[in-house]
Chain A
Amino acid sequence: MRELRVYEAIAEALAEEMRRDEAVFLMGEDVGLFGGTFRATEGLMAEFGSRRVRDTPIAEAGIVGLALGAAFAGLRPVPELMTMNFAIVAMDQIINHVAKMRYMFGGQFDLPLTIRAPGGGGTQKGAQHSHSIESWFVNAPGLRIVVPSTPADFKGLLKTSVRSDDPVLFVEHEMLYSLKGPVPDEDDDVLVPLGQAATRRAGSDVTIVAWSRMVHEALKAAEELSEEGIEAEVIDLRCLDPLDWDAVLGSVARTRRCVVAEEGWRKVGVGAEIGSRLHETLFYELDAPVGRVGAADVPTPYAKGLEQDALPNAGDIVQAALKITT
């Protein structure tokens, strides 16, 4: 299979969905002429024109609100927030409007919109541009949260999200954009279903649950652990809502040990939820408490060394796994 980088996989997914459905259109800051801050919409304005690839003002709440209105009317907008950090500006539209309007109105309307949100730390962008805050959105019911880690998943999950009649927050870790990997081509029209985790590495001693960039840290950690004689199973959640609890519970029931690795802050994070659910469900099968890896409880600092210390990495996962396996 041919290989693509993540940003190319995204552009390809968008182009394919736009070709098959006239209702799909893009809007966001610099998505058109500029080609997207991370090149993920490169070439799309040339193919589809400025009606379907719309450059917007810098007004994130407005961008999400307009997309919601267009979705209400039956279009399939794919708004891009230049970064997930700016989702905080649009929080009221996302949580109070996008996430609530189907339920609040008794299911009268479909809301087929996919909000693309690049984010994450690791490139010295400082405290306001390094957020991994997917846990905030998971906390509120009403959104599907997609957190891909491989080029093929970026494409397959994005295509599924765009075709979904429910609102999706599609989280793209900025450090993954240049990652290269095999990606199915247009003729295959491969869709990756929402809510199905993938086992990236099989192992019997400990389960590492991760998503987005942390999947790659987890795989590195698993190699290091293997040298110590510990075989880790790496579960890539791919979606945080719906969350594939069967995959998580099934794996941990076998390995009896689990580490959850997230890039966001540990405090009240997704790892806290998964750990708690594992303790509630598998308490008597667990050989050790569930370990959690996440960011230090500080705003992300700028200085390279401090930033590396603040963000979790493979070494932290190894330490957490060793703590519960030896």
Chain B
Amino acid sequence: MIAPTDQIKLYKLMVLIRRIEERVAESYGEGRIGGFTHLYIGQEAVAVGAITSLNHDDYVIDTYRDHGHFLARGGDPRKFMAELYGKSTGICKGKGGSMHLADAEHYFYGGTGIVGGSIPIAAGLGLACSYRRDDRIVMAFFGDGATNQGVWHEGLNFAELWNLPVIFVCENNFYGIGTGVDSSSSLVEVHKKAQGYGMPGYLVNGMDVLEVRKTCDEVVKLVRGGSGPALIEARTYRYQGHSMTDPGRYRAKAEEDLWRKRDPIPRLAKHFLKEGICDEARLQEIEVEVEDVCEDAVQFALDSPDPEPAALYEDMFKERHPGDPHA
């Protein structure tokens, strides 16, 4: 049972991600954010339910659709927005951008733009936990598309072979860009791919934050206890296109409408009202509080300076040598 106060925290985090992503879309439209930007709208229940089941010093690693995970992990919305704006105050000093958010303070090892690329790295973080015999675990997020990549299979094989404490969380949103999972994967039920490695596979409703959280609490306990790795498939849906430049013509309107009816935020709000966990006024307060955070983040990003030209050659290596390129 998740305590009512915790449920409200989950709700607020989901609303924060939703509203800040709406600001991201707005800023992208205004030309303030460039490059590839992949919105997390629709999938909030997965990041929030899964990441809140972890300890502060557990390791989290991610794919390029990383905004939601960064924020759910406790990342600073100001540094998040400033990074997307390419400002020096961004979490990666403006060198990473939307796809490459990382946050050392929160043990968040970032987004990679290469589908499946983070999976062996996740196993490596797990290897460090196992090597040190410490109490930490790893959670790795990726999409259904990643499960067809070679390194995904290498990573799962290593993790099971060495009994590493890694939870692989597949956010199955049914599309790898514009190609459906049924056109790209020999096994549409992604969680069953775990069987190929002798690993437990779980299926959860990725539109229900309480279900995600409940399953993750159980799996986290098992994995922390030394059970070895696990695969969780969370079925979910991204409301927007693959990235900001994708109008999403490959999906049927009826399908989109169906998933929007399953929206995790109103779902939880309805549950609150029904169970008397909070009232409509509190939900409105949350909207206002989140709005303030979003406004503050955008304003911070707008007011922040661009990186100095000298920053171009900084952060290449820890140990500098005379022959290194410099300003």
Contact = CB atoms under 8 A, between A and B. Distances in A.
Given A69-B122, A104-B96, A62 B158 contact: yes
Interface stretch (B87-95, B175-183, B214-222): B87-95
Interface string B60-101: 010000000000000000000000000000111111100010
Interface stretch (A39-47, A72-80, A122-130, A265-273): A72-80
Interface of B: 59, 61, 90-96, 100, 102-104, 109-110, 112-114, 117, 119-129, 131-132, 150-151, 154-155, 157-158, 161, 314-319, 321-325
Contact of B319 (A67, A77, A166): A166
A102 B315 contact: yes
A254 B93 CA distance: 44
B318 A166 contact: yes
A141 B326 CA distance: 13
Interface stretch (A92-100, A174-182, A203-211, A223-231): A92-100
A92 B117 contact: yes
Contacts of B109: 69, 72, 109
12 contacts: A25-B131, A68-B121, A69-B122, A70-B124, A70-B127, A102-B316, A103-B315, A104-B95, A105-B96, A106-B90, A108-B102, A108-B104
Interface stretch (A28-36, A242-250, A281-289, A294-302): A242-250
B128 A75 contact: yes
Nearest to B123: A66
Contacts of B112: 96-97
A305 interface: no
A110 B319 CA distance: 10
Given A62-B154, A65-B123, A74-B128, A108 B318 contact: no
B114 A141 contact: no
A62 B123 contact: yes
Contact of B318 (A59, A66, A72, A110): A110
Interface string A123-161: 000000000000000000110100000000000000000
B124 A69 contact: yes
A69 B316 contact: no
Contacts of A96: 112-114, 117
Given A61-B150, A75-B128, A194-B321, A69 B315 contact: no
A195 B100 contact: no
B59 A93 contact: no
Contacts of B322: 195, 242, 246
A142 B96 CA distance: 15
A73 B125 contact: yes
A245 B120 CA distance: 36
A165 B318 contact: yes
A21 B256 CA distance: 55
Contact of B315 (A64, A77, A106): A106
A324 B127 CA distance: 55
Contacts of A144: 317
A59 B110 contact: no
Contact of B117 (A70, A93, A142): A93
A51 B91 CA distance: 35
B197 to A, nearest CB: 12
Most chain A CB within 10 A, of B120, B123, B126, is at B120
B321 A195 contact: yes
A69 B158 CA distance: 13
A72 B124 contact: yes
B226 to A, nearest CB: 15
A-B pairs with lowest CB-CB distance, top 4: A69-B124, A65-B120, A107-B315, A62-B154
Contacts of B319: 164-166, 194
Contacts of A51: 131
Which of B157, B314, B318 is packed against the most chain A CB atoms within 10 Å?
B318
Nearest to A62: B154
Nearest to B133: A51
Given A72-B121, A75-B128, A142-B316, 4 more contacts: A73-B128, A109-B102, A141-B316, A195-B321
